[in-house]
Amino acid sequence: MKKIFNIIIIVVIIGGFFSTLYYLYQKSEETPMMAVTESPVTTTIVNKTVATGSVVPRKEILIKPQVSGIIDKVYVEPGDKVNKGDLIAKVKVIPDMVALNNAENRLNRAKISYENAKLDFERNKKLFNDEVIAQADFQTFQIALKNANEELNAAEENLEIIKEGASAKMGTNINTLIRSTADGMVLDVPVEEGNSVIEANTFNEGTTIALIANMGDMIFLGQVDESEVGKIREGMDLILTIGAIDNQRFNAALEYIAPKGVEENGAIQFEIKAKVNLNDSLFIRAGYSANADIVLEKAENTLAVPEKLLKFDEGETYVEVETSPQEFEKRVITTGLSDGINIQVLDGLSIDDKIKSKMVPAEEFAKQNAQ
């Protein structure tokens, strides 16, 4: 029994020894590798930089009152389309007590002066008719009566303007009716009925009644970093992507680059403006955030290869081109424009060339070819 047990142990040891040898042999044997190739393609290479910003109307017009007072009526809402001269709101004038008191005093003095001038005129008219005084002397009283009458009318109008914001001589309360000064869409009405408003003057820019803009003339207002601003120029093409509108791109043309930068978060940013070519079927709202791809350079229908295939040696750029199955040669090429993924090939390759890409195990290579 003991003899059989010893034989089993010896067999196990021998089997383990040969298994180890086989394992080491398998490990030492190199797996055959095969080269995968890629061919050049004809594509469009675009070198671009990105600017962030928003789409806004080119001009936004602030409608302000000509008199101070209380909003009596608002006739429009945001989103309404208006034409030049359309009624926006009506202001009820609340007169200043000091100015009102002065106007009333002026009117009272004007009445007294007029009554006095009228008495003098009637008294001297009788004397003139009786040929007691000369016409030259009588003319003085005529002029005095006319002046007193004009002053009385002016005082009455001044009091009416202070009370109502307009006079009967104007024919309508033109100052209290706020009208649109341009064609466009009402973007905002920041006041409500009952709000106090102030007219524009030397010390105050006045209360905004409404904001009006032409929504058919939109621009992209954005910023470009100082590292990129030297690469752009007016007239360049932009491609806009608006966050609120999926799967749509808009063309734009760069119109303005700020001559002075502004520091933001430690970086200098330059403002740019670009005219947006709108799509009539889409309504672009003011203030939509957008990204603009500024096309710095563009090569259409050009031969290109992935940049990962390039190799460099002593200042030369080259690729390995297949001359026969799994046989490659070094080929120096001339490159051009790059978009960071693909690079333009100006010379050295044709569309039919196959370029060495990477090495894979023979089994994996066979599977890829089978597919």
Identify the CATH number of the domain in which residue 222 sits.
2.40.30.170
Q: Do residues 230 and 305 share a domain?
A: no
320 and 282 both lie in a single domain = no
Residues 170 and 104 in one domain: yes
Domain boundary (213, 244, 269) is at 213
- Half-sphere exposure of 284 toward its Cβ, with a 13 Å CA cutoff? 30
Is residue 101 included in any domain, yes or no?
yes
pLDDT of residue 61: 92
Please give the pLDDT value at position 272: 93
pLDDT along the chain (371 residues), means of 10: 67 69 57 76 85 92 87 92 92 72 81 85 80 80 85 80 62 71 93 88 86 92 89 88 87 92 89 89 89 85 88 85 83 86 87 81 63 57
How many domains is the chain built from?
3
Tokens of 277: 């070519």
CATH number of the domain at 173, please.
2.40.50.100
In a domain, 15, yes or no: no
pTM of model > 0.85: no
Q: Which residue has the tokens 């009716």?
A: 177
Q: Which of 165, 149, 169, 158 is nearest to 106 (CA)?
A: 158
So what's the pLDDT on residue 334? 87
Give the model's pLDDT for residue 35: 74
Residues 85 and 193 in one domain: yes
Nearest to 178 by CA among 71, 60, 61, 59: 71
C-beta separation of 254 from 294 below 8 A: yes
Same-domain pairing of 149 and 270: no
- Indicate whether 166 and 276 sit together in one domain: no
Range of the domain at 72: 62-213
- pLDDT value of position 211: 94
Judge if 198 and 160 occupy the same domain.
yes
203, 334: one domain: no
Same domain, yes or no, for 178 and 320?
Answer: no
One domain for residues 291 and 305: no
The per-residue pLDDT for 83 is 93
Residue 193 lies in a domain: yes
**Three-state secondary structure call for residue 131:** coil
Which pLDDT belongs to residue 274? 93
Question: Same domain, yes or no, for 207 and 232?
Answer: no
Which of 181, 213, 245 is at the close of a domain?
Answer: 213
Q: How far apart, in whole angstroms, are the C-alpha atoms of residue 151 and residue 111?
A: 9
Task: Please spell the DSSP secondary structure of 62-74, one letter per residue.
Answer: EE--SS-EEEEEE
